[in-house]
Amino acid sequence: MHYDVIVIGAGSMGMAAGYFLSKSGKRTLLLDSFNPPHDKGSHHGDTRIIRHAYGEGEDYVPLALKAQELWHDLEKVTQKQLFLQTGVLNVGNEKSDFIQNIISSSERYSLPLDVLDSSEVNKRWAGITLPNDYIGCFEPTSGVLKCEDCIEAYRELAELHGASILTNSKVKEIVVHDKKVTIKTEEQTFYSDALVVSAGAWSGSLLSMLNLNLPLKPTRKTFAWFDANEHLYNHKDFPAFSFETSQGLYYGFPSINGSGLKVGRHDGGEKINPDESILGFGEVEEDEADLMQFLNDYMPFKQQLKYGKTCMYTLTPDEHFIIDLHPTYSNVAIASGFSGHGFKFSSVVGQILGELIISGKTEQNISPFSINRFIKSL
């Protein structure tokens, strides 16, 4: 069967791309090793933070705002609540790059942001105990995305627009020749005019079939839910958060409908092979102790571990994304290396991938995410 476009990897980025491509009338096939949304890659665990004033750099702000608009559109079309406007509290030392980028992003793009000293933070949220060398930047318009529901919503719409989604179909071989694409799974061969590679932690091995050896590092990450005093931590009163502390960069979510407080650590983690089984939460001794230490330091209200999970980041050396056309094959678009902060953008990344495939260009500025920055240095 011949398609206009094949998408390898129907996860966060790929499912959104499948929606935008099929909506534009492209005959689209999405192939996935599992049945998305699933808990084998980078998109499980109920929730992801969306922030607009962006600590990782001002370049991301227009994308974050466009992504937020597209999430609202998706909610309207599907009549599902995918976003909770809890606000996000970013904590750190006033002089840190992360905090400075947040403040300058909010000034440059006129984003609402309350900059609070430690005593103001402690007063506003009784569940937080901040030492006086930290400040808090509270962004009231941002919040939490229900990640699996977002993927499910794009999946339903992509199918409605005629996309075919083949699950449990792991791609084994890719050949691109003369603007024609041939894709093989264990059982079948498919043909198309164009290709999107959005395979998350598995992108490295697939892209090497297209002569690209990119410095992508799949990394084991952990996160866990803790029993929480609902009075202090329920999502109507308590925000999602990101804390840059001297011990590490931690993030978390309020208790959503009694789920408990969810906490994870952004920095660190061991390099892994995504094709091998990953140690579960608690199989590494520090998993619980590390998160517990964070809670004891900053939210010390006798939280008890409920359960934890593991997930994968795909890190690039500079922790910025790769969103680009293949340097040799102009009919191949690539989205990878989301370095643990990509989910919020998946709506707009899906749209960008669709535009790249259809017209070879996009209205968004994706120059910071170019593949060439890694090819030159190899």
Ligand X SMILES: Cc1cc2nc3c(=O)[nH]c(=O)nc-3n(C[C@H](O)[C@H](O)[C@H](O)COP(=O)(O)OP(=O)(O)OC[C@H]3O[C@@H](n4cnc5c(N)ncnc54)[C@H](O)[C@@H]3O)c2cc1C
User: Catalytic residue positions?
Assistant: 44, 47-48, 262, 266, 311, 344
Q: Which is nearer to ligand X, 26 or 155 (CB)?
A: 155
**What backbone torsions phi and psi does residue 27 show, to the nearest 5 degrees?**
-75, 110
Judged by CB under 6 A, which stretch of 27-35, 224-232, 281-289, 364-372 contacts ligand X? 27-35
Cα separation, 305 vs 311, whole angstroms: 18
Q: What is the smallest separation between the CB atom of 60 and ligand X, expressed in angstroms?
A: 10
Cα separation, 351 vs 39, whole angstroms: 24
CA 309 to chain centre: 16
Binding to ligand X by residue 264, rule CB under 6 A?
yes
DSSP state of 255: B
Give the pair of three-digit tokens for residue 274: 């995504």
Judged by CB under 6 A, which stretch of 4-12, 57-65, 75-83, 230-238 contacts ligand X? 4-12
Q: Which of residues 320-339 bind ligand X (CB under 6 A)?
A: 338
Q: What is the smallest separation between the CB atom of 212 and ligand X, expressed in angstroms?
A: 15
Among 28, 42, 86, 142, binds ligand X (CB under 6 A): 42
Q: What is the smallest separation between the CB atom of 152 and ligand X, expressed in angstroms?
A: 13
Q: What is the smallest separation between the CB atom of 48 and ligand X, expressed in angstroms?
A: 4
Amino acid at 85: Q
Give me the residue whose beta carbon is nearest to ligand X: 11
Asked if residues 107 and 82 have their Cβ atoms less than 8 Å apart, the reply is no
100 exposure class (CB count in 10 Å sphere: 0-12, 13-18, 19+): middle
Of residues 32, 349, 15, the one with CA closest to residue 183: 32
Binding to ligand X by residue 92, rule CB under 6 A?
no
Give the pair of three-digit tokens for residue 346: 């998946």
Asked if residues 112 and 106 have their Cβ atoms less than 8 Å apart, the reply is yes
Asked if residues 136 and 155 have their Cβ atoms less than 8 Å apart, the reply is no
Among 196, 261, 312, 332, binds ligand X (CB under 6 A): 312
Q: Which is nearer to ligand X, 119 or 168 (CB)?
A: 168
**169-183: burial string, b at 16+ Cβ within 10 Å, e else:** bebeebebeeeebeb
Of residues 12, 68, 69, the one with CA closest to residue 45: 12
Q: Which of residues 164-203 bind ligand X (CB under 6 A)?
A: 170-171, 198-200, 202
120 to 81, 98, 249: CA distances (angstroms): 31, 20, 21
Binding to ligand X by residue 291, rule CB under 6 A?
no
Judged by CB under 6 A, which stretch of 37-45, 104-112, 127-135, 187-195 contacts ligand X? 37-45
Binding to ligand X by residue 41, rule CB under 6 A?
yes
Q: What is the smallest separation between the CB atom of 222 and ligand X, expressed in angstroms?
A: 7
Binding to ligand X by residue 45, rule CB under 6 A?
yes
343 to 24, 68, 104, 181, 224: CA distances (angstroms): 23, 11, 23, 28, 18
Cα separation, 288 vs 283, whole angstroms: 10
* Coil/strand/helix, residue 331: coil
Among 155, 217, 221, 320, binds ligand X (CB under 6 A): 221
Q: What is the smallest separation between the CB atom of 258 and ligand X, expressed in angstroms?
A: 20
Judged by CB under 6 A, which stretch of 28-36, 209-217, 275-283, 294-302 contacts ligand X? 28-36
Judged by CB under 6 A, which stretch of 29-37, 94-102, 131-139, 278-286 contacts ligand X? 29-37
Q: Which of residues 338-367 bind ligand X (CB under 6 A)?
A: 338, 340-344
Question: Which spans of this chain sit near ligand X (rule: CB under 6 A)?
Answer: 8-14, 31-34, 36, 41-43, 45, 48-49, 170-171, 198-200, 202, 206, 221, 223, 264, 311-313, 338, 340-344
